[in-house]
Amino acid sequence: MKFSDRLVSTLRNAQSVCALTGAGISAESGVPTFRGEEGLWKKFRPEELANFNAFIRNPDLVWEWYAYRRKLIRDVKPNPGHFGLVDLERCKKHVTIVTQNVDNLHRRAGSENVVELHGNIERSYCIQCHAFVDEPSPEPLTSVPMCVTCGGLVRPDVVWFGEMLPVEAFSKAESAARHCELFFCIGTSAVVFPAASLPYTALDHGALVVEINREETDLSSRAQEVLIGKAGEILPDLLAQAGIRHEEHL
Ligand code: BJW
């Protein structure tokens, strides 16, 4: 793909970059996205699974869904899209990866400054005493565990609909969006708020906003650069054209 001179030179010169990522960046690793033809929610209805009331109504069903996804995520590896962001972080002064994903793949790839807006599927906590709980068995449990301290139900440490995002994480994300020169919005349908507000914050504060997605989204008409295709192909290609050092990743 041929990229615009504006994009290549901004990428070359920017010292402060923010990247908002969504399920699409992990799709090439084999993690299903949420929406669309291949989306997780073609098979499971979100209102049945991704909210607190659904958990209280049917904790075993919700736990089993997360146990299934946790296992799936453990069996996959980061892909060139994740590694591209690692390369970027290694050659720029300020890079913030703001992710809506709960799959831990940015950290597993080697990214360090990662802000998790929707939690992390690897962690769980007790809804009663709020203690963090390790999943006791390496095999996924098909029924919800109870807290060993107080007997409360254990839930995944993720953000469901109607729940607040972690305050510190969102404030760090907003600050990165306000202060960056270049903002990437990668592999997200950009429909879930408040994460979806971040590209607009970046635009309002003068950043060049670049969307990378397999298809257009609501953001596409506002982003200055819209790159249609797979993140795992576009990102490495773009970084190479900007002369950003590519490192060997395991
Ligand atoms: C590729 C690709 C490749 C594929 N390369 N691209 C009305 C208006 C505004 C807001 C609201 C409203 N009504 C309700 C709300 C609030 C609500 C919300 O935004 N709802 C909207 C759906 C309307 N938000 C909330 O409730 C949030 N909290 C909140 O607002 O708190 C304040 C509050 C408190 C009390 C009461 C009310 C408000 C919380 C949101 C939590 C979202 N949680 C989930 C589940 C996390 C746990 C889990 O993983 O199970 O987070 S939902 C799900 O969506 C998940 C994701 O992080 C999130 C975003 O999805 P994402 O990443 O964009 O994935 P997809 O599948 O949608 O898109 C993938 C994209 O990739 C596609 O575009 C593909 O084309 C692309 N792609 N392959 C590049 N190779």
- Ligand 1 site-directed mutation target among 25, 102, 125, 193, most atoms within 8 Å of CB: 193
How far is the centre of ligand 1, averaged over its atoms, from the C-alpha of 143 (Å)?
26
Q: How many residues does the chain have?
A: 250
Nearest CA to ligand 1 atom 11: 193
- The predicted model scores a pTM of 0.96
Atom 77, ligand 1: residue with shortest CA distance: 24
CA distance 26 to 82: 8
Q: Is the CB of 155 inside a 6 Å radius of any atom of ligand 1?
A: no
Token digits of residue 199: 């590209």
Is 118 designated active site?
Answer: yes
Is the shortest distance between the CB of 194 and ligand 1 below 6 Å? yes
Could you tell me the two tokens for 97?
Answer: 């990866």
Q: Burial level of 243, CB count in 10 A (0-12/13-18/19+)?
A: exposed
User: Which of 106, 118, 179, 246 does the annotation list as catalytic?
Assistant: 118
Beta pairing, strands 182-186 & 154-158: unpaired
Interatomic CA distance for residues 232 and 212, integer angstroms: 10
Distance (Å) from CA 193 to ligand 1 centroid = 7
Give the number of the atom of ligand 1 that is nearest the alpha carbon of residue 190: 63
Better-predicted residue by pLDDT, 1 or 172 = 172
79 φ/ψ sector (left φ>0, alpha ψ -120 to 50, else beta): beta
Judge contact between 198 and 180, C-beta under 8 A: no
pLDDT at 140: 62
Structure confidence by residue, pLDDT tens digits, 15-62 = 999 999 999 999 999 999 988 776 666 666 666 678 899 999 999 989
Predicted confidence (pLDDT) per residue in 129-162, tens digit: 999 987 656 566 678 999 999 999 999 999 999 9
Q: How many CA atoms lie within 13 A of 243 on its CB side?
A: 6
Task: Write out pLDDT tens, residues 208-246.
Answer: 999 999 999 999 999 999 999 999 999 999 999 999 977
